[in-house]
Structure 1
Amino acid sequence: MEKIIYIVRHCSAEGQPPHADLTAEGILQAEELAKFFDEIEVDRIISSPFQRARRSAWPIAERKKLHVEVDSRLTERVLSSHDLEDWLVKLEDTFSDLDLIYEGGESSNEAMSRVYNVVDELGDGSRTILVTHGNLMALLLNFYDEQFGFKGWQALSNPDVYQVRITDDRADVKRVWN
């Protein structure tokens, strides 16, 4: 049996806090994202509780007549509880050393584990959209394809969509958003 997940990075947002909403451009992107999924069979939509993720998911749910489930395990990974001047370098380091952890943050392995648990709980035959954030998305993609690392994270767009087709013995990862 197989399951198919669509990992979606939220649309353009006004900022990083949990309550940050979509920009005017992000609202239009969310409508385009919904149209993108029109011909794709989906039985569940699970979103980060952050406003920008939920607002990216809602138009899809309306068109599909599905409920947006909220799962806190899809929240963005916290790199550190402190503002880091060289955060980009530190983020890159966490893709090289998956156990590296900064004060008040979580390691890549910890974040990867929590998002993987969401996928692992999906039933065989499921076709699910997960709406999340760039760093967590990159870590989940890295779990299935070790070649997807820091450079892959840098190349992500807002929004972005990757399909992961999971069977008993392998996972196929491909970008499906243009």
Structure 2
Amino acid sequence: MSDDERGGLPPRRRRRVLVGCLLRSAASVVLLTALFYLAPLERGFGVLAVALLVLGLALFGGLVAWQVSAITHAEYPRLRAIEALATAVPLFLVLFAVSYFLLAQEVPQSFSEPLSRTDALYFTVTVFATVGFGDISPTTGVGRALTTVQMIADLIVVGVVAKVLFGAVRIGVRRRGEGK
């Protein structure tokens, strides 16, 4: 930890920096969740939905790459990493929740029960958290394939992305230490 992150800043400034980080992180989560609930999702699941999921995942990858650079150059790399995760992970989850919701609208028998937006988000988080299937499970090949794609992507997010972000924090902390 750098001197500033250990407490080299006056307590008032330290609180302000921390509160700012937490507020921006919360705002990211709230904004992405609100967009999920407010977005017009009437098109159903088809080629366009799959293309948008792929495009969204590419956007996610670009966001993570940009965040890595921002973390390594940040004044407070650890706090910047928290903000990065608070943006990237909800975006990732919302992309899959939209896909599940659209699939459930297009082919209702894709899941063991009809999915509202809340149900789709719940199912997405259930898969991400690897707590297993309980009340909602995929029942068609397309539903299972989409869920499998999410499971693989989850492993990448948890393993690779987290490692890359934490590596960026180490670089940023080292860079800040060298600058003093």
Tell me which structure has the larger Cα radius of gyration: 2
Higher helix share: 2
One fold, TM greater than 0.5?
A: no
- Tell me: higher relative CO, structure 1 or 2? Use CA pairs within 8 A at least 6 residues apart: 1
Please give the TM-score of this superposition, normalised by the length of structure 2.
0.28
